[in-house]
Amino acid sequence: MAFTDLETWLESTDRDLARLIQAVAEGCREVSRLVARGALGGVLGEQGTQNVQGEGQKKLDVIADDVFMDVARRCGVVRAAASEEQDDPVVTEAGDAPYLLLFDPLDGSSNIDVNVSIGTIFSVLRAREGAGFDPADLLQSGRRQVCAGYAVYGPQTQLVLTTGNGVDAFTLDPDSGRWLLTRAGLSIPAQAKEFAINASNSRHWAEPVSRYVSECLEGRDGPRGKDFNMRWIASMVADVHRVLNRGGVFMYPWDKREPSKPGKLRLMYEANPMSLLVEQAGGQAFDGVQAILDVQPTALHQRVSVMLGAAEEIEHLKALHRA
């Protein structure tokens, strides 16, 4: 069976953006190799440091961060890069490069040491006209992304991308090292049969979320009139990958544990790229008030409440939030 490779797929993409996507894909291939070696490569376990979020860093968090910062510095089309793992953006020597790159280099770190799927999430924004950079240039809403994607390091390594014309998935051929188009035009079924949320937080949820989950649990005997199954991998990349491939909803909503924070997940390099992919696949992404892509950022590492996936489910969640 003949597959289209990433290079061919990129032929219809802006040359600078194609160069950036290729460079990120090479970074993902390197991280995939390191992840696959696990203990053999001495990359498991704690780094013994904390990131800007105050979270303990795994060795692979830091290694992956270095890989993608190196990608940003060397590709020649990124003016500045921002990472979940670093307080401040890194400005490259390409002072008039067209793009800004934001990424979570290794999402789902708590799963690294127990061999459960993890991933890299990235977002591409346009740099300001001309030359120069100010950190405020990064604070663009998710609708202004020119590209968004993730790599999921699982039984297969896959790269899932959008440049605004739908969502396509590539599988890394471990023999040749090439990214091959294995699924084009991912589309989230409007109706869902699965929901994903960390149910151990149920006593902390806002009422609309509690109501939504209760209805799912009531199944065909309740107001939804159908049974639901539940999943929670605790790797956003893996949970969202399932939603993009077979439907459902993924939720990490605001809860009472840290009432001053809108949620756990980060807007700029987790929720925004995933929300663009979900909308491009016919789904919706909601923060309890508005579409996540419409949130006007005020800080690079700000968090957001996330409910995304099947259009029918998100519309129902919106109705519960209005009630």
Which of residues 99 and 254 has its CB atom nearest to ligand P6P in the complex? 254
- The pair of structure tokens assigned to 146 is 């020119």
- Residues annotated as binding site for Mg(2+)? 84, 104, 106-107, 270
Q: Taking the complex as a whole, how short is the minimal distance between the CB of residue 308 and ligand P6P, in angstroms? A: 11
Q: What minimum distance in Å lies between the beta carbon of 200 and ligand P6P?
A: 8
Nearest approach in angstroms of CB 97 to ligand P6P is 29
Give least dist CB 205 to ligand P6P, A. Answer: 13
Neighbours of 171 (CB within 10 A): 16
The sign of the dihedral angle between the CA atoms of 108, 301, 24, 162 is positive
Summarize as ranges the residues that interact with ligand P6P (CB under 6 A): 107-110, 198, 234-236, 252, 264-265
Cα distances (Å, whole numbers) of residue 77 to 60, 91, 124, 131, 240? 26, 12, 11, 12, 28
Q: Can you say which residues are annotated as belonging to the binding site?
A: 84, 104, 106-110, 198, 264, 270
Looking at beta carbons only, is 82 or 236 nearer to ligand P6P?
Answer: 236
Pick out the residues of the known binding site for substrate.
107-110, 198, 264
Stretch (H or E) spanning 249: strand 249-252
Identify which of residues 242 and 264 has a Cβ nearer to ligand P6P in the complex: 264
Pairing of strands 265-266, 229-231: unpaired
- Write the burial class of residue 137 (CB in 10 Å: 0-12 exposed, 13-18 middle, 19+ buried): middle
- In the complex with ligand P6P, the residue whose CB is nearer, 98 or 248, is 248
CB atoms within 10 A of CB 7: 12
